[in-house]
Each structure stands twice: as structure tokens, then as C-alpha cells.
Amino acid sequence: MVLECKHVWEHISGYLDGTLDAAVLEDVQKHLEHCEICSAILDSTRNILILTADERVFELPLGFSERLHARLEAEMQGFSYKPRGSVEESDG
Amino acid sequence: MDREAMTATSENRNEAQMIASILAGNTHEFHDLIQPYERSVYSMALSMLQNEADAEDAAQEAFLKAFRSLEKFRGEAKFSTWLISITLNEARSRLRRKKTAKTESLDELNEGGHVSPALLRDWREIPSEALERQEVRLMLQDAIGDLPLIYREVFVLRDMEDLSVNQSAEALGISVAAAKVRLHRARLMLQKRLAPQLKQVMPKRRWFPWF
Ligand SMILES: [Zn+2]
């Protein structure tokens, strides 16, 4: 089956995730072989996903870790989990 | 996220053992348990809330909740997945509190919409080193932040936090089919906005100006 460009676009996500049915995948691949526009759309999408997944996109603020662990430390003071196997208090 | 680093960290540690020890009273070990996830919890909160102070507060709150309710962690999911769903819920409830009618209707409107990608004739690979540039980082942050919430959530879980589509759907309380559709739209929306911007920001002749 010959796919039009706009039908190929519907499969970009599935193509990148490798979840397309074998038949659809074959049609998409055939289309990509001769369509530079769809190939460029696919390449740019893949590239953008690699960039957005990079941990440098969102930087931790200075001192984030220190403030977090200080707050946790304060929470831990006097904190204890209920002993294993204990039942909710029913009297009192 | 740095997927390889994340996997390596969780593989080299026995988190189940650490959690058992914390629950047995060694509460201070919680510091070590969460250390590899500080960045991903923060970046997730930031991408949802789009304000550094709110994101830091929400991230702290998520870690505190995880600490207090560690007994409820059953070990069927990975600890990181559990932590991410706590963070998601924390960010969502904060958004709900300050959400305006405007953003809500925008989200609804976009649900049925059709997204077309930006048309290009060729694409020159942009290496990750480009992220050393502040303007490139800001470009990506803004584009992610401007995604309607329903698309942003699934994008952050699947493509930034590396959850599977099934895990993302479960964390969001939506069907797998809906998660796939939203993820697809989120990706195309980002391509539509970022491809032309990134192309423009990368000079044609001097291809590695950041070295
Ligand atoms: Zn095409």
C-alpha cells in the first residue's frame, strides 16, 4: 500500500518506539526511502527526543540537595515507622 | 534523564534491602536511597510547575511523602517509578490549586486537535553538546513548558523519565491507547516548534562553535 505523507506522520511515534505492526512498518519504510520530507521529520523528531531527554535541560538550583537533605533530616528527628505486624490502635 | 547512569545506579544497589533497613529503623539511609533520583524528581516538578521555587518545594514535599509512606511501598514497582508517581501527584495537586479556567479550556480544546509537523527537506543532527548553550536549554524548557498539560505529563513520564508507555498510562490513570495518542501529539508539537528554532540556532558553517 502506498502511504501519503500525512499518513506517515501518524506513525512517527510508533516508528520511534518500535511498536508498529510489521505491515505498517514496511509501508512506512518504503515511503521513507523516497520521501526526504518525511525522513527529515523523522530525523528531527528523533533528535529532539534525544535532546529533551538529556539531564542538562533542567538544571538543579544551587544548594538544592543541601536544602532537601536538611528538611529530611528535620523530618527524621523523632520519626519512627510502626513496628512490623502491629495493628492500628483500636482503644484510646 | 541520563538513562544509562540511572540504570547503572539502580542495578548496583539493592534498593529492596535499603528500604527494609530504613523501615527497621535506620531512617538516615533514606538520604542514600533517594540520592540518584534528586534530579529527576526536580526536573519533573519543574516541567510541570514551570517555576523554580514551586518546583523545589514540590520536590521536597514529594521526598517527604515518600519517606513518611515508605511502608506502603510494596516493591511490585521499582522504587523510582513509585517516587515519580508521588511527584506527579504532588505537582498535579499544586497545579489544580492554582489552575485558571484559561489553561483548563486550552487543554480540553487541544485534546481532539490534529497536529502537523514542521516540514523540512533535510535535518542536520544536533549533538547533545549543544545543550552547553543556555539559549538551547531555554528553548527546550520553554517548548516543553508550553505543551498543554495533558500532553506534557505523558511526555515527561515517557520521554524524560523513561517510564514505559504502560507505566506512564498507569501513573496518569488513563488508558494505554490514550497515552499513546497524547505522546504522539506531544512529540509532533515539539518537533513543529523546535525543529525550525533549532535549525536557526545552529550555524551552517561553524558546526561546533561550543568547543
Ligand atoms: Zn512523505
Q: Hey, how many other C-beta atoms are within 10 angstroms of the C-beta on A46?
A: 17
Q: In the prediction, which pLDDT does B210 show?
A: 54
Q: In the CATH hierarchy, which fold is given to the domain comprising B117-202?
A: Arc Repressor Mutant, subunit A (1.10.10)
For chain B, the domains span 1-99, 117-202
Per residue in B63-92, pLDDT tens? 999 999 999 998 888 898 899 999 999 999
Q: Do domains B1-99 and B117-202 have the same CATH topology?
A: no
Q: Is the pLDDT of residue B99 over 50?
A: yes
Query: pLDDT tier at B171 (50, 70, 90 boundaries)?
Result: confident
Q: Chain B within 8 Å of A37 (Cβ-Cβ)?
A: yes
Q: Let me know if residue A87 belongs to a domain.
A: no
Q: Quick check: is A91 in a domain? A: no
- Domains: count for chain A: 1
pLDDT of residue B162: 86
Tell how far the Cα of B186 is from the centroid of ligand 1, in angstroms.
20
Q: Is A84 helix (H, G, I), strand (E, B) or coil?
A: coil
- Hey, what CATH class is B1-99 in? mainly alpha
CA B85 to chain centre: 11
CB contact under 8 A, B123 and A43: yes
**Which of 29-88 (B) contact A at CB < 8 A?**
30-31, 38-40, 42-43, 46-47, 52, 56, 59-60, 63-64, 67-68, 70-71
pLDDT greater than 80 at residue B41? yes
SS3 A21: coil
* Contact by Cβ (8 Å): B173, B198: no
Calculate the average pLDDT of chain B.
86
Structure confidence by residue, pLDDT tens digits, B130-139 = 999 999 999 9
Residues spanned by the domain of A19:
1-77
State the complex-level ipTM: 0.83
Residue B179, φ and ψ in degrees, nearest 5: -60, -40
Higher pLDDT, A12 or B161: A12
Q: Is residue A84 part of a domain?
A: no
Residue ranges of chain A with per-residue pLDDT less than 70: 1, 83-92
Mean pLDDT of B93-121: 70
- Compute how many other C-beta atoms are within 10 angstroms of the C-beta atom of residue A8: 22
Q: Is residue A7 part of a domain?
A: yes
Residue A83 lies in a domain: no
- Which of A55, A65, A80 faces B2 most closely, judged by CB atoms? A55
